[in-house]
Amino acid sequence: MSASQPASFVRPTFKAESAEDLRELITQAELIVANLRGSGPRGQTLLFLLDTIVDLQKRLDALGVDLRAEETRIETVQRLLLAKDGTLVREMRAVGGLAAARAAIKPPADNWWWFLDARVADRQRNQLRRGLTILAGIVGVFLIVSLLYHYVFPPDPKQVAVMELQSKADQAIQAGDLAAATQDYRDAARVAPNDPELQATIGALEEKQGHQQEADAAYAEAEKLSPDHAHFLVTRGMSRVNLGLLDGAIADGKAAVQENPNFAEAYFLLGNAYEAQGDRLTAINMFSEAADKAGNSNPALVVLAKTRMGMLMQQAPMAQDTPAPTPTAQ
């Protein structure tokens, strides 16, 4: 099947036996990704091409074929696709949308290009959040939150109050006023006393300020509210990551893995911590473990971990990247 043939939810067949076939498939993919805007169904053809390219690449690698030049071209196609992820998602609407295609084809989670709609949605949420923060500085964060929640869905007054305090605290953190942020989170915890994440964040803020006694008290309260110790460790670890306390976050993640080697969220925490620390290869390894451990029980985490892993894999190699072993229970 040529790259210009109409796409459908039936997986097309490509000639994929030799290195020459691989080069032809890459050429087709290069043409589509370079002209993705307005491509319509050919956007889905690109996804099938990438599936076939990666599969053939693995088979030829196993036979010892030198594919260094082809690997560079494949990486270039993938980088371009990541840069045009929003365009692909729009073009896939011509065949019913990326989510519908994914549901019909059921691609493996390793083939991250089938999950780019999650990446686009995450970016749009972040853009919306940044836009709201700017707007809040002009007309007041409380008015905006009130209007949004009043017209979108009936708000829980307590949840609205917590979100307002968290937003205020986040602005204080950005301004470097950790004391004010700590007070805002303590106020939020009084509104929602059963939320372990609020207590863990208070602990991380106190720890960041060198107030170890106050941090220990908040962490102890967070642990009481958590389902078990491993969940507490992950909750505390994510709070530490958000405040740059990376050594403590990594220690929490490793302890959670030791306590429960199948706890996918613990590996996801480690992926975040190692990524923030600049250890890209270890972060990739941890996100991969998170996706594997999540399996069918947490498909949202699988998609998120695979997307994060795919994004990291597209970055240029760094000299300090060194592979690290997966944490195992002792």
Average pLDDT, the chain: 83
pLDDT at 33: 84
Interacting residues of 239 by C-beta distance below 8 A, sequence separation 6+? 197, 200, 201, 203, 204
DSSP 92: G
Distance of alpha carbon 251 from alpha carbon 260, whole angstroms: 14
Render pLDDT for 112-158 as a digit per residue (tens, 0 to 9).
888 888 888 877 777 666 665 655 565 554 555 555 545 554 556 78
Distance of alpha carbon 292 from alpha carbon 193, whole angstroms: 34
Helix/strand/coil for 57: helix
Q: Which residue, among 230, 199, 239, 197, has the nearest Cα to 216 in the 3D structure?
A: 199
CATH topology of domain 226-330: 1.25.40
pLDDT at 146: 55
The count of other CB atoms within 10 Å of the CB of residue 129 is: 11
Q: What angle do CA 99, 101, 105 make, to 5 degrees?
A: 120
In the predicted structure, residue 101 carries a pLDDT above the cut 90: no
pLDDT at 4: 37
Q: What percent of the chain has pLDDT over 90?
A: 40
Domain range list for the chain: 19-116, 226-330
Phi, psi (degrees; rounded to nearest 5) at 317: -60, 145
DSSP 14: -
In the predicted structure, residue 21 carries a pLDDT above the cut 80: yes
Render pLDDT for 253-307 as a digit per residue (tens, 0 to 9).
999 999 999 999 999 999 999 999 989 899 999 999 999 998 878 888 888 888 8
Mean pLDDT value of segment 97-104? 86
Q: At 38, which amino acid appears?
A: G
pLDDT at 118: 83
What tokens does 300 get? 């949202």
In the predicted structure, residue 65 carries a pLDDT above the cut 50: yes
DSSP 115: G
Render pLDDT for 154-199 as a digit per residue (tens, 0 to 9).
556 787 788 888 889 889 888 899 999 999 999 999 998 999 999 9
Under the banding of pLDDT at 50, 70 and 90, the label for residue 323 is very low
Mean pLDDT value of segment 306-325? 64
What tokens does 90 get? 């729009």
Interacting residues of 305 by C-beta distance below 8 A, sequence separation 6+? 264, 267, 268, 271, 287, 288, 290, 291, 294
**Of 63-67, 79-83, 133-137, minimum mean pLDDT range:** 133-137
